[in-house]
Amino acid sequence: ADVYLEEMKEIANNDSTKLIDVREPWELEKFGHFENAVNIPLGEVCKALVLSSEEFEEKYGQQKPDPSDDNILFYCMAGIRSRYAMNAAHTLGYEKARHYIGGWKEWSEKAL
> What residues contact 3, with CB distance under 8 A and at least 6 apart?
11, 73, 98, 99, 100, 101
- Per DSSP, the three-state class of 60 is helix
Residues 76, 77, 85, 89: which is the catalytic one? 76
76 catalytic per annotation: yes
DSSP character at residue 72? E
Active-site residues, by number, are 76
